[in-house]
Each structure stands twice: as C-alpha cells, then as structure tokens.
Amino acid sequence: MLERHIQALHTDNPGDETPAAARERLKGRFPAGATRRMTTLGLLVGNALAELGPGPDDAIVYASRYGESRALEGFLDSFPTPSPTLFQTSIHPSAVQQLMIARQAPVREFLPLSGGAHFAFHALRAALLSPAPRVLVCGGEERGTWLLERGLASARTFAFAASLSLEAGAGPLGRVRLSRDGGDGELSLEALFQLLEGRIPYNGVVAPGWRMEVVWH
C-alpha cells in the first residue's frame, strides 16, 4: 500500500476563457516579460505550482497527455511561411520548466509523464513512491481546436497542483492511497482533476491491479 497526505491544493478551471484572456489574468503572477515566452499551459500549471511554493528539496511529478497543443496548432497554422517565433513556442520546455527556469530555481527531482495508457495513474504512483518528504504532483491540458477534431488534443483547459507529504502534519486536507486490487479500470487526467477540484471522495480501480482511495477531511 502507498499513501500520502494532501497538504495543499490549487486548481484552475478557466472554462471557455481564451488563451489571451488567461495570459492577461495571470501575467502578474510571473516575472516581467516572462509571460511573453510562456504557453497557455505554462501559465496555468505554473501558477498552480507557484501557489505551493516549490523548493529545492521538493520532488515534482508532472502529467499532461497532450502538452502544449495550442502552441503546436499555431505553428502549423503559420505554414507555408512558418513563423520562427511560433516554432520556438511549440518546442518550449514543459509547463513546469517554464516556471522553474523563469525563477532560476533548482528542484530535487522532476519526473514528467505524458500520453500512453494509465499515465495519470503512473504519475500518482510515482508521486507516492518518491523518497522526497514533499512531492508536488501537477498537471493540466489546453483545449484544442482542429487538433481536437482529430483526437489529438484535450476538449477542455484545466490545471492543478497538489502537495503530498509522508507525515500528516497539522490539518491536512485529505489523504490519497494506492493499494493492490484484482480489478481493471482507468482514471483519466481530467477525472483526477475533477476529483481534486470538487474534493470528491473516491474509492475505485484506476489501473489494472490498482485501487485508489481519496479521503477528504
């Protein structure tokens, strides 16, 4: 059995907010000039993670199935005269790195996960297996346009970051536990976000042979 306590949590559910509106809303959260080079996902995940105050002794686990899909769409839309600026944005470091590079901040361990079957579960398991006293598990997606029509982007924009500790401490928000189970199931990243945003209790199979229990205090 693997278990950690949820000490802090920040979620962002912008709904139909445009990338330009998200940039305007969050630009004050980052160093002057940094947002010009950041993606929408970088702004959302970076802000959620910044709320938890990542430090050099923390481990960070990051999950996103599609990553910076809007940036890729923008670059491909610029053809047949590809934009160098949009190209740089489309290959920008991940959302977590955009925050940490702007801060010039070190981190003990950084483990990004993307795509593949059960990747949200693998992110959770990695967070619970980490030897770090505090693990920040974060993730998110950007709502796609024409990539969505091809099944290559998310249908919604969202971001989250949660601080997980080995010790309960004073007044934890809740607890997450993974245990072995003979059933079969899957937990999407969006479903995990919804559980966290709504602080919804959960007990069910999230991957072949694994059950997750989330309890809120």
Structural tokens at position 9: 């949590």
The domains found in the chain, sorted by start residue, are: 2-174 (3.40.47.10)
Tell me: pLDDT of 32 over 90.
Answer: no
Tell me the pLDDT tens digit for each residue of 60-112.
999 999 888 888 888 888 898 888 777 766 666 677 777 777 777 778 898 88
Query: pLDDT by residue (tens digit) across 165-216?
Result: 998 888 899 999 999 988 888 999 999 999 999 999 999 999 999 999 999 9
Cβ 61 vs Cβ 111: under 8 Å: yes
Long-range interactions of 107-110: CB distance < 8 A, separation 24+ = 107/54, 107/56, 107/58, 107/59, 107/60, 108/56, 108/57, 108/58, 108/59, 108/132, 109/59, 109/60, 110/59, 110/60, 110/62
> Is the pTM of the predicted complex or chain greater than 0.85?
yes
